[in-house]
Structure 1
Amino acid sequence: MTDAAEKPPLFTRALIEESAKKSALVWVRGPEGPARALWHVWHDGAVCLVGEGPQEQPLAALGLIDGGTATVTARSKDKGGRLIVWPARVVELTPGSEPWEAAAAELKGKRLNAPDSETVTERWARECRVLRLEPAGDPLQEPGAMPDGPTAAAPLPTGATTRRPIPAGLPKLLGRSRKKR
């Protein structure tokens, strides 16, 4: 846990906790790369994540290391917009330890569509990392203290495109399926 001197005031702690509990996703920015939307659980005063395994969410690109820092953004459940942005201390839990077992049990309950739902925690112990993101300090943004200008990030460069000419035969194919009905 964080030191008493680093803990945010009670209202801010409650806002962080409630926003993390009510949202299925938080956006996490590590020391490397852009922020990523990650599924999580709120457990014992921190956001808990599992990732880096072949069937789990990618964490490596964020550069999250034990003892490092991250920035967590939580959204408003009713409006969907950014509600609070807070600094976090990253703690990697040791597989098999009591904190790891407790966090893994909570995560298992929220893990949707796991192909190995009965043995998922054993796979996490072998192949994945379970991290705690503990609030560490005052929020960077909160209600009443949001930036004035736009904060949207520019899209990352990609070769993907959504606009291409329609294939010449497509209208005929679509017309045939309508006539058969």
Structure 2
Amino acid sequence: MARTGRRPGQTETREDILAAARNQFGERGYDGATIRGIAAEAGVNPALVHHFFGSKEQVFAAALDLPIDPAAVLAVVLDGPRDSVGERILRLFISLWREPATRTPFLALVRSVSTNAQAAAMMRQFIERVMLARVADALGVPKLRLTALISHVMGIAMMRYIVGVEPIASAGEDELVALVAPVLQQYID
């Protein structure tokens, strides 16, 4: 059983929890990993995991070094009129890929999930169970449509920010939104 209270001396508790989380998510997947299991492997009380990271989603985001808070993404997507969901999603994605502070971790994540089956499985479970399921339920949209929407947005990110294909790479953000947001909205409608 994990000890309670603060560890004596210099502590790397946060890093120990992250290492345990990466291992637990890697071995058990998103669904199988638990806060209790992560805490046990790190040798800490589950309350300490919650103290450092909050929810299981937040532990996952930190373990994979996601540059976003999943709850904040869901709030952006779901807060506002239904007829502008496509535009909100596209503007959010563009803003995340535009900024080097978030683009760099996204690039690393894309590389990880495209070359490592374990990372891909973890990310797939997270997207399916946490992001897609919640948005689909909240909007009453089939998951297939949302998956197509995400694929569309990821394709734009790939062409614009990774491969740099013109003219999409240098198109103005408002021009891109005017062109693509109505198409994304079709997936929702």
Q: What's the TM-score once normalised by structure 1's chain length?
A: 0.30
Q: What's the TM-score once normalised by structure 2's chain length?
A: 0.29
User: Which gives a bigger RCO, structure 1 or 2 (Cα 8 Å, sep 6+)?
Assistant: 1
Q: Counting strand residues as a fraction of each chain, which structure ranks higher?
A: 1
